[in-house]
Chain A
Amino acid sequence: MSSIKLRAVVALSGLALVCAAQAQQKETAAPKKAAAQTKKAANAAKDPVAADFEKFHEIMEEASPAELFEAKGEELWKAKRGPKDASLEQCDLGLGPGVLKGAYVRMPRYFADAGQMMDAERRIVYCMVTLQGFKAEDLAKQPFSSESRTPDPVSLVTYVAGQSRGMKIAIPQKHPKEREAYNIGREIFNYRAGPWDFSCASCHGEDGKRIRTQNLPNLTSKKDAIRAFQGWPGYRMTGGLMHTLQWRMNDCFRQQRFPEPGYASETIADLLTYMAVNANGHVYKGPGIKR
């Protein structure tokens, strides 16, 4: 199936609820009762809806479909693949070759061998290129999950992330490049441009806001910043696809009405550095479930 066709399939999905297609007839139905409900919902500001979401979210994360992708990622990590017929077991994720425990909660970080800031996915792509001989351009062609395909880096990131389950987030800020990345990331986060004048902060710069019914974490605050890290990579219920932070950043920029950021680019690494450092000290629960 072609990718265009696939996109359309997703868009047409009767069950995956896509905003644009919604509920245009609702206006006529049972106005009185609905009005009362609206009032109730509006009054109870810290609403039971959110509490209910959270409760069932947690129940589902106890047995998350993300585990299926973790298993797939482990298989890929250990398999000899690519032009060089090598596994990724010697990949250095910042704690030494082959050390997986705790690596995910310490990225993005500066990698001297590459001379670059790298988030987990960028680093894994780097290892796939250097160790296995894959081409970066090929990996960047269709880097995000679709109905017909979960790209290898997605499963690999999920596996690597799972190896930091229950560990404290400790993104390093020792190297000057790491501190610089944080500062540049903050500027990217706050940069308003495009036809709708949006920056990341337009939606994620204030406490207690929501878009439709979805709560928006204030990613500039210490308290909320964890929510940009927690649950990623995440199994997205809409479409039932596994997604990483690379996808999340990409789709945020799309909705920000920006042009497209490069996959596994430095821009994304810096932006993720800013958000991840703000989440330092929290315990990472592993790959999660997203709406």
Chain B
Amino acid sequence: MKKSQTSIFAAAALAIALTAHAGDDRAKAVALMQRDFHAKGIAHMDRLNEDALQLVCNRSHNNPPKPVAERLQQDQLEAIKYPADGKFLGDWKSGEKIAQTGSGMTWSDKAGQANGGSCYNCHQIGPNETSFGTIGNSLRQFGKTRGNSPQMQKYVYGKIYNAKAFSLCSNMPRFGHSGTLTEQQIKDLVALLLDPNSPVNK
């Protein structure tokens, strides 16, 4: 099963790679970066290597053919690790702090430190934070309008864990997949969005 997925993916990726017109410049760009960059702090050189998903998004200008996108989204979805205890709602107050915090994973951050979710950088969320970005959609009253069902909780958990499972070349980082946020942190963010007591839903 695993193997066949990989080969389907490889074939698709190859097809895109072959049809891409800027391949030569891209190859030169990658070679140049490999030469000119250096590891610093926790940011090692392997970060310059595309993973499979990045490769497909890069070569398709973030617009992969539908069958490829669906296939790869399925892979991403299947790789999401949901909480073993089956609970998705953490503490919305902690969630708000995580949403506010923008540090983590840069070369100036330390290994092992608690990372932030940078959520406000891109989304409107709570009512009291007027300094929010607009790269992502507004999440105001997210739970109020969408409900708090177990399915919704699982969806939100999954979306934060790996946004690419739902939209392959989304701008949103894969916070769980990349090891940026812990299970508990993601639960807290789910609570921020869905807990009826969270100011987001007031």
Q: Which residues of A contact B (CB under 8 A)?
A: 7, 19-20, 22-24, 26-27, 29-31, 34-35, 37-38, 41-42, 180, 183-188, 190-199, 202-203, 206, 208-213, 216, 253-255, 257-262, 265-268, 270
Known: A257-B105, A257-B106, A259-B107. A216 touches B135 (CB 8 A): yes
Q: Which of B30-47 contact A (CB under 8 A)?
A: 30, 32-33, 35-40, 43-45, 47
Cβ of A195: which chain B residues have Cβ within 8 Å of it? 47, 105, 173, 178-180
* Max chain B C-beta neighbours (<10 A), residue from A30, A187, A188, A267: A187
User: B37: which of A198, A202, A206, A261 is its contact (CB, 8 Å)?
Assistant: A261
* Known A35-B128, A42-B124, A262-B38; contact A193-B47, beta-carbon cutoff 8 A: yes
Q: Which of B11-19, B95-103, B146-154 contacts A (4 or more CB under 8 A)?
A: B95-103
Which of B43, B171, B199 sits near A258, CB closer than 8 Å?
B43
With A42-B124, A190-B58 in contact, is A259–B130 under 8 Å at CB? Answer: no
CB <8 Å contact, B133 and A211: yes
Q: Are B133 and A259 in contact (CB under 8 A)?
A: no
Which of A184, A193, A212 sits near B49, CB closer than 8 Å? A193
What's the Cα separation between A180 and B127 when bound, in Å?
A: 48
Complex: chain A residue closest to B116, CB-CB: A20
How many contacts between A and B, using CB within 8 angstroms? 172
A-contacting 9-mer, from B20-28, B64-72, B77-85, B182-190: B20-28
**B111 within 8 Å of A (CB atoms):** no
- A37 with B135: in contact, given A31-B199, A195-B178, A259-B44 (CB under 8 Å)? no
Whether the Cβ atoms of A266 and B128 lie closer than 8 Å is no
Mask for B162-202, Cβ within 8 A of A = 1, else 0?
A: 00100000010110001110000000000000000001001
Which residues on B are within 8 Å of A, measured CB to CB? 22, 25-26, 28-30, 32-33, 35-40, 43-45, 47-50, 53-54, 57-58, 61, 93, 96-97, 100-103, 105-108, 116, 120-122, 124, 126-135, 138, 140, 164, 171, 173-174, 178-180, 199, 202
Q: Which residues of A contact B29 (CB under 8 A)?
A: 184-185, 187-188, 191, 270
Known pairs A184-B29, A257-B47; A209 contacts B135 (CB<8 A): yes
- A266, B116: Cα distance in complex, Å: 33
Residues of A within 8 A of B43 (CB): 194, 254, 257-260
Cβ–Cβ < 8 Å partners of B57 in chain A: 192, 197
Given the contacts A27-B96, A183-B22, A192 and B127 also touching, CB distance less than 8 Å: no
Is the CB–CB distance between A258 and B126 below 8 Å?
A: no
Q: What's the Cα separation between A255 and B108 when bound, in Å?
A: 9
Q: Which residue of B lies closest to A35 (CB)?
A: B127
Q: A24-B96, A27-B126, A209-B134 are in contact. Are A197 and B40 (CB under 8 A)?
A: no
Contact A262 B134 (CB under 8 A): no
Question: Within the assembled complex, what's the spacing in Å between the Cα atoms of A196 and B102?
Answer: 13
The 10 A-B residue pairs with the shortest CB-CB distance in the complex, in nearest-first order: A187-B29, A196-B173, A265-B36, A267-B36, A260-B40, A35-B127, A195-B178, A20-B103, A183-B25, A194-B47
Nearest chain B CB to A108's CB is how many angstroms away? 14
Query: Are A187 and B25 touching (Cβ within 8 A)?
Result: yes
What is the distance, in angstroms, from A186's C-beta to the closest C-beta of chain B?
A: 7
A26 touches B129 (CB 8 A): yes
Whether A193 and B50, one on each chain, are in contact in the complex, defined by CB atoms closer than 8 angstroms, is yes
CB contacts (< 8 Å) of B128 on chain A: these are 26-27, 29-31, 34-35, 38
Name 13 A/B residue pairs within 8 A (Cβ), A-sorted. Answer: A19-B102, A24-B97, A31-B127, A180-B28, A187-B30, A191-B58, A197-B54, A216-B135, A257-B47, A258-B37, A259-B48, A260-B40, A260-B107
In the docked arrangement, what's the CA distance between A210 and B108, Å? 23
Q: Other CB < 8 Å A-B pairs besides A20-B102, A190-B58, A266-B36, 10 of them?
A: A31-B128, A35-B128, A38-B129, A191-B30, A193-B50, A196-B180, A209-B134, A213-B130, A258-B43, A259-B40
User: Least Cβ distance of A195 to chain B in Å?
Assistant: 4
Known: A190-B58, A197-B53. A267 touches B37 (CB 8 A): yes
Of the candidates B127, B138, B164, which one forms a contact with A34 in the assembled complex, judged by CB atoms under 8 Å apart? B127
Report whether B37 and A259 are in contact in the complex, using a CB–CB cutoff of 8 Å.
Answer: yes
B36 in contact with A211 (CB, 8 Å): no
Most buried by A among B32, B108, B135, B140: B32
